[in-house]
Amino acid sequence: MTTKKKPAKPTKPGSEDRTKIADMVLEGMRSGLSCFKACAVAGVHSSTFNDWINADAALAVRYAGAREALIEKMANELLEIADTPVGSTDSGATDSGAVQKQRLQVDTRKWLLSKLAPKKYGDKLELSGDKENPLHVKQTIDASKLTTDVLSQIMAAKDATDES
């Protein structure tokens, strides 16, 4: 009777292996791969790599730098795509399909950049006003639309405040 061998359990990489794999992932990110793709190329699951980042402050700092480099590379690609001349058809007319593809590539990268780095590439919505002229919120109440019960409560609260 033959016995089936149990599949070998994957071994956890040691610190040297982990460092080499992390270096491969970070280098992949700096060259333009997403973290997910860079992890796949390096042979590590992205959730495992994220666990390493959470457990190692130095690796987290290096990851942040690689992520920033990836974002900058994406921004540069966006400019390259936008500046690339659009091809033409055999008749010499502008290829509308190529224009649409180029627009989609630019819009996708713009959207992604606005999510990955909203402070730098997101739409700026400032509601605070400037330091010299801050916003003031004023609320007015039309007393003629208040019920007598509410007006009585307001007057009672005012009288209690005046007595204190």
Residues 56, 32, 35, 111, Cα dihedral to 10°: 120
Give the burial class of 77: count Cβ atoms within 10 A of its Cβ; 0-12 exposed, 13-18 middle, 19 or more buried: middle
Contact by Cβ (8 Å): 25, 39: yes
pLDDT digits (tens, 9 = 90+) for 18-61: 999 999 999 999 999 999 999 999 999 999 999 999 999 999 99
pLDDT digits (tens, 9 = 90+) for 81-135: 999 988 888 888 888 899 999 999 999 999 999 998 888 888 876 666 677 777 7
79-117 exposure pattern, b = at least 16 Cβ within 10 A, e = fewer: eebeeeeeeeeeeeeeeeeeeeebeebeeebeeebeebb
pTM above 0.75, yes or no: no
φ, ψ dihedrals at 132, nearest 5°: -80, -25
